[in-house]
Structure 1
């Protein structure tokens, strides 16, 4: 008797489904050959020309159609047209959103009875290879008359410690006993559970090893970011309380976060699915009380990220720059990029992984450890730089900002710093005194003083040998572009006797400076026509001086 395979078509816009489904289908092909034919497509798969039509053809021939949305129906291209094309199909239809996207519409569009719908939803919500194996066998039992042994959906461990060198998932106490030295700076790292479930941990492993390689502790925690009592997920707040705080004090000095979106702000559907309800928790990261460094996982491939002048996609900017800023995160650099491997021969989907960017990972860890060490320096010994906007580079435009009183804001900052114990020689009476003091010293406006006068009143000078040493550390490509545009170092702008002038004032341990000119007044036509025109030697020397001298 020739038994036809059960044909299942599965669409997901939730990337964490892909690898567990692929792994489950591979095991089914070995253990139950010929009994399943499973077509899997992601949103990225359907973005290619002709792929949506191919998927529709497969759906018309399927016994079961599963659609798992992240972001609702709009995450599937031309959803209404797709559904209209399936009219008259005898296929069983199951549609659902993610666990946080609860609503009745998708359930009402499905053709499963309520019990089967809840069972299938649980397998998909809980995710992971074993749950998908049991899902497909459950569907075969229900609709093909098979008699597989099927386990009920198994909840994953929603949060926990992960380390590539540890077998299993240790408790926090076990991990601290084996891999935590109190005399070292400590870095927290949280990331999505989906990275564990999909085996997509290359960049997480690289971050962990880089932190340890730079001599610090790391507490790496995977999580499901939304608190859901029904699922058993603690969410970000629970992870902070149970993994990063002990006895009322933070265990970590800094947190690296590859999580996307704004954690303190969200929208969700009302229980009836008819309203969008906003929510906010502005104290989420305040409770932790340490700097949070945003690590970006770009949707670009590494090649596109390197070659594209924008670097990040529009989606990256929205999800990994703009929205995390609402939480007060410090935006840093990409640590991973998408890597498309070959098409899976069984399901037809492209495997997407995240490729680590080693140099950028080294950068973010160095930055994070600088923040970590800063927390152990007394405020009276800390040095701070405050930079006024100053374009055009004239004295009457220092701190120029539409609708904002920048000098008053800087005075407020100085007042708060003094109250917090930072060293100031004198607190100015007001913002106006700050500006007048700056103008009495060296500024970006070269119309009123000679270079020698400015050099005598500058906050600092960078000698030619010192700058040449810095310049030699830049990539050769950048050196050549700068030398071509501005001559050999140290160039002409703000150069007095082969020393570059640093405009600004020093008040105790506080440097108040001015945004250095990019060179508009030196070569305006070149800059107007070349948005990637290199900055002047003075521009780079200014910020390097702040980094090393302030």
Structure 2
């Protein structure tokens, strides 16, 4: 009797457990009659493994191939087919690619036997596999072997480990001996769960059993169902909506309180028809992460999750508004099957994490059960630096007014709140009167008197002992024995903030670097004992049901630990515990908001950007520009007066140091004064035409009147998809070439309508504002019918923009919804003024991007334009293309732009992405032929943020792959600077005795970031803690935090030595900005990464490199400025602009704190990059610190801000960064002492 030889290749291993069980049954039933060899991708991961496997293919009677993702799912697919040429080949059809492969390569595609095999495998399970193998024996032996036809397994059902499968909810409730009414009466949380039917069919249920058992152990009731998400003609399965309606709802009413999803991918992206199913269910949905990595890998690495996990278990589920939590299973080998040789993989439960997610789910469930009057809520303000001028720091948000509005709404909803606040400032001042994070103003005894509560030794000792041993030892090593030295009096730990009824309003504890400046070179610094005890107090003593973290951003989500799928030893997990975390966050920062989602399990509620407005001409700048227009008109009317006007213009410009902005001397200006005037007029026009923030946003507040008109005008300033730019439409209507106007602002208007192009731009913008105001007020714009393009924009404003903005009230609605245990709708994220009105309205739990679709084809176009602009700028300055550059890469811009920075980097290196035509995903890279290149291939060294590293591990490897591809090209080194540098360094390393292969790898390192598990560049804390003397000290901090290499096969290897070598060769550092909603002086992060890079190059090379700031706020019109030019541009347009200052002054305490931080950040940039000139410090002093009206206002709303401004300016003078006059220093010193005395009087009181 013939022995039937069968080979099974299953790319992912799904179903292999059932297959192996079937093989054992066949061996028992037909001993020695059949040999089955089975393998997965894990078994055939390299060519050597494939070599050893080929003899099985060559001698097989039948080869069964089960792909998951088409040809790309198995790198040796073509070889497998070739080696199977003598066998009966069957390829299981699946997606479009697999259908095509099956039709091309299956031996009897479409036959009855083929169709039967399809059903056997599709239905799955051990019984179907057994009958499939019986059918193969019959087919290839010719014997009459009986077998049963394919048997369909339940496609959906409710599962319980004790009672098996129920096909209806009633049947399930009966099997559990209870009823929904009884559970409702007992206020029992009902936790729904859904998972893949394949787990049930394959008997791969260990983690499901653990989840169900843990739900019951914690006093909740489980409804765990399985189904197939994707519709299948053969399975005839039910869709997700049917599953929700029949298992989680009764008569349309949802009966579960929270849903655990063990499903991967996104409903919105993969089944858009059912994108609304989670909204229909209406409860919080928590992602129970089923990792595609092993327990050992998860436990022992800081990465925690694979690139695939990041995509399918985090990035994609976020599109559905799902809350990202912790891993419930790892994918581990259950051993090698002796009969088939296959590695059998099972999803093994992570018991401790299962306890965590069930506890978290239970608390979310209770928000939907507990009466509002009984709910206790903690509100946490962020505070960095930990000073009293900066409490409630939240980018673009009036955090105190927003919290006042939230509290007012909660009181209306029945929450127990004893005191109402007249204003946001009233709340701020009440907090300032208690214990804060600023220890300079209160003695420990005074802290004890003013504390909201005090934590005794018995309590905090128990908390400390409850931590993992690893964490206890780490914290004691960094902070001493408990309770440490922060906020401690007589062995008691002080709790900051205030308690108002059932609401605690407090301040997030300091991260610790400012408190321990000597630890600035230790990125792994543990949070302090006080930090951990503070959050423990919130949960265990105050007994909060939920916590609200207010605004971008705090430190909790940036604490050391895994990037995703956190363990109990990760500090964010230790801190947030199982508290539902609701996090209002600005819509234009998807990266940092996503960090909060993935590392503190936050439900983000996004909020609108502040109103944006044009900077316009102001004060002396307006006076100069007026004089320029007089000069232009005088040229034709009264030319003999020109010398007088030239002198006046020069004197006015020099008085305002505008000649410094131009980098023009008096002699140079007068050598061609018309050219100087044209440049100056153009510069002033650019400043005036720059969009800036006008004040801060308030949660739930819809902009009104002029503010609304200004914001809408900025929202339609550039095109939105196929809706044209309003300004461009008006320009076209008036007969202008809009690009010509922008490029030649200082030149005469060719139409004669206005004196210059700059004036034309001003009038176009003014007209745009008028049109917008007409639409807002319900009038028909006078000129709309004259231009189809203008008409199109008007309709877009009326029908889309305004209705979306009116929904801004939903921001607070969504906070209330989250606190009520309801699902918060998902929404897009990005910069609305960059042609992204579609991401509105706010009040959504924003999502970001699919990392495998980056860069997008559109981003590639902009990236190429950026690359061309960069090289052109460098050529104009130096006469040659850049050879070795450093580039800062962040996660948020990558998400907002779909990867323009990555696209530019690829383009500079001379490679381009290859996109899958069906799904838009990146399939790889290809070399741009040397004949197509506009410049030699550039050597690019990357410093990525820790968040980018975590969210785009695929791009870290793809960038590394690009380096390898370009290095391998046989090209002249004059055409390939990257190859030139790599080979030169590798040759030097070989001379030192390093193995040639290792030398080439080391010389190729170009992607650097933070050490695994930590985040940041270390620069802000070093400067704020005064832990530096010269810029080289900051450069060393940058190298310490950023000298870790990443790439294929390399994850966070400490290669600070290699990073130094890279820095020594860099002559240009680059960072791009994609929106004017923020700029280089908006936060300390810009200087930390960009300015720090500049300082690091100087530290190693001895010279400051060139540094370019890319402006891609209009993707169709990108440009580069030097950082000196950009900082001056921001100073002129925003920092010294009364319009911007007045906007912040409307926001009292919070606005004053933001002005204070603007001075800090200017100082930070000077510390790293030497960009501040004396006049800039002089102007800050006169406008911010020494103006009497400003002093009076600061003292009223936030004297701490005035004190910090004076202290920072005096520090600049004392360090020699500012050559301040003795009179100026004396005035600042007197003012500093005056305000310090006022503060001490307040705190003593």
- Find the counterpart in structure 2 of residue 307 from structure 1: 300
1:472 paired with 2:468, answer no
What residue number does 2:1104 align with? Answer: none
Q: Matches of 2:78 and 2:95 in 1, distance apart?
A: 23
Which deviates further from its counterpart, 191-200 or 101-110?
101-110
SS in 1 for 2:360: helix
1:489 shift after superposition: 1.7
Counterparts in 2 of 1:403 and 1:102: CA distance versus 1, 3 Å: farther
Once the two structures are superposed, what CA deviation does each residue of 1:259-302 show, in whole Å capped at 9, x if it has no partner?
Answer: 2222x3233xxxxxxxxxx7364421222222323222223333
CA RMSD of aligned residues (A): 3.0
Matched, 1:352 2:345: yes
Matches within 5 A, 1:245-394: 245-262=249-266, 264-267=267-270, 279=272, 281-394=274-387
Alignment-derived partner of residue 162 in structure 1: 159
**Corresponding position of 1:16:** 14
Q: Residue 75 in 1 paired to residue 78 in 2?
A: no
Please show how residues 126-165 of structure 1 align to structure 2 within 5 Å.
126-165=123-162
Structure 1: which 5+ residue stretches go unaligned? 268-277
Task: Report the counterpart of residue 211 of structure 2 in structure 1.
Answer: 207
Closer, same or farther in 2 for the Cα pair 1:474/1:113, shift >3 Å? Answer: closer
- Give 1:112 deviation, angstroms: 2.1
Greater Cα shift, 171-180 or 407-416: 407-416
C-alpha distance in 1 between matches for 2:358 and 2:404: 33
**Residues in 2 aligned to 1:101 and 1:213: alpha-carbon distance in whole angstroms:** 46
Q: In structure 1, what is the Cα distance between the partners aligned to 2:97 and 2:380?
A: 43
Aligned to 1:36: 34
Of residues 494, 508, 516, the one that matches 1:515 is 508
Which residue of 2 is the match for residue 270 of structure 1?
none
Q: Is the 8 A contact 1:100 1:226 kept in 2?
A: no
Partner of 1:204, secondary structure, is helix
Q: Distance in 2 between matches of 1:510 and 1:51?
A: 62
Answer whether contact 2:157 2:165 (CA < 8 A) is retained: no
- Residue in 1 that maps onto 2:61: 63
Alignment of 1:170-249 (within 5 A): 171-179=168-176, 180-181=178-179, 182=182, 183=186, 184-228=188-232, 231-249=235-253
The CA distance in 2 between the partners of 1:435 and 1:57, in whole Å, is 76
SS of alignment partner, residue 345 of structure 2: strand
How far the C-alpha of 1:455 sits from its partner, in A, is: 4.2
**Whose radius of gyration is greater, 1 or 2?**
2
Once the two structures are superposed, what CA deviation does each residue of 1:93-140 show, in whole Å capped at 9, x if it has no partner?
Answer: 222354798743443343323124433222221111222223233344
**Cα distance between partner residues in 2 of 1:235 and 1:408:** 45
Instruction: Please report how far the alpha carbon of residue 234 of structure 1 lies from its aligned counterpart in structure 2 after TM superposition.
Output: 1.6
Report if the CA contact (8 A) 2:452-2:495 is conserved. Answer: yes
- CA gap of 1:102–1:338, structure 2 versus 1, over 3 A, is closer
Contact 1:71-1:97 within 8 A present in 2 as well: no
The SS at the match of 1:43 is coil
Q: 1:514: Cα distance to partner?
A: 2.8
Write the deviation string for residues 435-486 of structure 1: whole angstroms up to 9, x where unpaired.
5554444332334444444444443332334322322333444333322321
CA distance in 1, matches of 2:208, 2:369: 27
Q: 3-state DSSP class of the match of 1:265?
A: helix
Q: Residues 134 and 465 from structure 1, CA distance in 2 versus in 1: closer, same or farther, beyond 3 angstroms?
A: closer
Greater CA drift, 13-22 or 394-403:
394-403
Equivalent in 480, 484, 489 of residue 477 of structure 2? 484
In structure 1, the residue matched to 2:104 is 108
Please give the residue correspondences for 1:410-489 in structure 2 after superposition, counting only pairs within 5 Å. Answer: 410=403, 413-414=406-407, 416-425=409-418, 435=428, 437-489=430-482
Report the alpha carbon displacement of residue 426 of structure 1 after superposing the two structures with TM: 5.3
2:402, 2:51 → 1: CA distance?
58
Counterpart position of 1:125:
122
**How far apart are the structure 1 equivalents of 2:427 and 2:47?**
60
C-alpha change, 1:450 and 1:325, in structure 2 (3 Å) is: farther
Question: Aligned equivalents of 1:244 and 1:46: distance in 2?
Answer: 42
Q: 2: distance between equivalents of 1:432 and 1:8?
A: 76
Whole-angstrom CA distance in 2 between matches of 1:450 and 1:280: 62
Question: For 1:472-505, what per-residue CA distance to the aligned partner results, in whole angstroms no more than 9, with x for missing partners?
Answer: 3334443333223212221111223433232334
- Is the Cα–Cα contact under 8 Å of residues 387 and 437 in structure 2 kept in the other structure? yes
Matched residues in 1 for 2:279 and 2:408: separation?
22
For the 8 Å contact 1:266–1:280, the answer to whether it is kept is no
Unaligned stretches of 5+ in structure 2?
545-1245
How many matched pairs? Answer: 534
Tell me, what secondary structure is at the counterpart of 1:299? coil
**Cα offset for 1:404?**
5.9
How far apart are 1:160 and its partner, in Å?
Answer: 0.9
> Which structure shows the bigger proportion of residues in strand conformation?
1
Partner of 2:1090: none
Aligned to 2:52: 54
Distance 1:140 1:398, change over 3 A: farther
Report if aligned partners of 1:228, 1:235 keep a CA contact under 8 Å in 2.
no
2:541 matched to 1:543? no
**What per-residue deviation string (whole Å, max 9, x for no partner) do you get for residues 359-406 of structure 1?**
222333233223333322111221122323333323444444556665
Deviation at 1:176, TM superposition (A): 0.8
- Closer, same or farther: CA 444–293 of 1 in aligned 2, 3 Å: same
Q: How far apart in 1 are the matches of 2:415 and 2:14? A: 47
The C-alpha deviation readout for 1:292-332, integer Å capped at 9, x for no partner, is 23222223333333333343333333332333233233333
- Judging changes above 3 Å, is the alpha-carbon distance between structure 1 residues 281 and 146 closer, same or farther for their aligned structure 2 residues? same
Partner Cα separation in structure 2 for residue 501 and residue 353 of structure 1: 48
SS at match of 2:486: coil
Q: Measured at CA, do residues 156 and 496 of structure 1 come closer, stay the same or move farther in structure 2, by a change above 3 Å?
A: same
Q: 1:535 to 1:58 in 2, by over 3 A?
A: same
TM-score norm. by structure 1 comes to 0.87
Cα distance, 1:168 vs structure 2: 5.8
Is the helix fraction higher in 1 or 2? 2
Classify 1:389/1:168 alpha carbon distance in 2 versus 1 (closer, same or farther; 3 Å). Answer: closer
Aligned-residue offset at 1:229:
6.0
Q: Deviations over 1:230-252 (max 9, x none)?
A: 53212332221111111332232
TM-superposed deviation, 1:542? 0.8
Contact 1:293 1:368 in 2 (8 A): yes
Q: Distance in 2 between matches of 1:502 and 1:97?
A: 62
How far apart, in 2, do the equivalents of 1:452 and 1:327 lie?
50
Q: CA offsets, 1:58-77, max 9 Å, x none?
A: 22222222211112222112
Residues in 2 aligned to 1:233 and 1:343: alpha-carbon distance in whole angstroms: 33
Given that 1:257 and 1:292 are in contact with CA atoms closer than 8 Å, whether structure 2 keeps it comes out as yes
What secondary structure is seen at the aligned counterpart in 1 of 2:292? Answer: strand
Provide the residue aligned with 1:272 in structure 2. none
